Structures are given as structure tokens and as C-alpha cells.
Amino acid sequence: MVSSSSSSSSGGGVGGGSPQLAVKKGPWTTAEDAILIEYVRKHGEGNWNAVQKNCGLLRCGKSCRLRWANHLRPNLKKGAFTPEEEKTIIDLHARLGNKWARMANKLSGRTDNEIKNYWNTRVKETPTRRFTDLP
């Protein structure tokens, strides 16, 4: 069912589908990061639920995928968006709407979450402040 991914895999909370496997939530530790990196190095991306099963990582597959995509991927570009990237985001948003993953595809090194946060906190909320810099 649809709810299986939320209730069983991700749990929809702590210990959702598998009573024996408590799912940890909250900030990731460096140890957890290391486990995830090692897993992806060996098995590649995908099968995120297998990380929990094979490595004993107390995180749902959903959380693992997000962590990898947003912080652990080797080609990630960290730091502030450049003016050129800003312009690209605005242009892509005008064309695609809230299709953050599509935008992330165009902006290599940037993640959908990063773009989404950027748009919601800096572009969408304060367009005048950002682009006209009115006092």
C-alpha cells in the first residue's frame, strides 16, 4: 500500500512497521554518516532500506536517501548560491514551478532540498529585499 512506505518503511514515527527495529530520528552523527558512505561505496545508491538491514543503521531508507543526497554525495557544491545560480533558479521556477528535483538536475552539485530552502526563505519571502534591496 501507499502507507507502507510511510508506516512500515519510514515508520511514520519511531518503530513503525518493524517493532524490533527502532528508527532513530533527529540530526545525523559522523558515525552514521560513515556507515552510510561505506554502504554506498560498496553497493552504490539505491536499496536504501537495505542500509538499515545490512549495516544495522537505525535510520529508515528515506532518511538515508535524504542524507546522502543533501550532504554526503561527493559532487555536492556547498556554500552560497552564486548570482548566476540565483538567476537560473528564478528562470527555472518560472518555467517548471515547484519542481525542485528538476531544477536540481539542471544545477549540478545542488540538491532539491537546497534549492527549495533557498527559494522559500530568500527568494519567495523577500523578493523586494533580495532584488531591489529596499530599506
Partner DNA sequence: AATTACTACAACCGCGTGAAG
Partner DNA sequence: TCTTCACGCGGTTGTAGTAAT
Q: Maximum Cα–Cα distance for the chain, whole Å?
A: 56
3-class secondary structure, 80: coil
Report in angstroms how near the CB of residue 34 gets to DNA at its nearest: 14
Per CB under 7 A, which region of 36-44, 48-56, 87-95 contacts DNA?
Answer: 48-56
Query: Taking the CA of residue 58 as centre, how many other CA atoms within 13 Å lie in the half-sphere pointing to its CB?
Result: 15
**Interatomic CA distance for residues 10 and 59, integer angstroms:** 8
Q: Retrieve residue 64's grid coordinates.
A: 538515508
Work out whether 107 is an interface residue with DNA (CB under 7 A): no
**Any contact of residue 11 with DNA (CB under 7 A)?**
yes
- Hey, how many other C-beta atoms are within 10 angstroms of the C-beta on 66? 17
Q: Is residue 76 a contact residue for DNA (CB under 7 A)?
A: no
The CB-of-33 to DNA minimum distance in angstroms stands at 9
| Residue 36 is a binding residue for DNA (CB under 7 A) | no
Q: What is the grid cell recorded at 82?
A: 552564486
Which one of the spans 36-44, 56-64, 83-91 is the region binding DNA (CB under 7 A)?
Answer: 56-64
CB 2 within 8 A of CB 8: no
Q: Is 48 in the site for DNA (CB under 7 A)?
A: yes
Name the site residues for DNA (rule: CB under 7 A).
1-6, 8-13, 24-28, 45-50, 59, 61-63, 65-67, 69-71, 80, 98-102, 112-114, 116-118, 120-122, 125-126
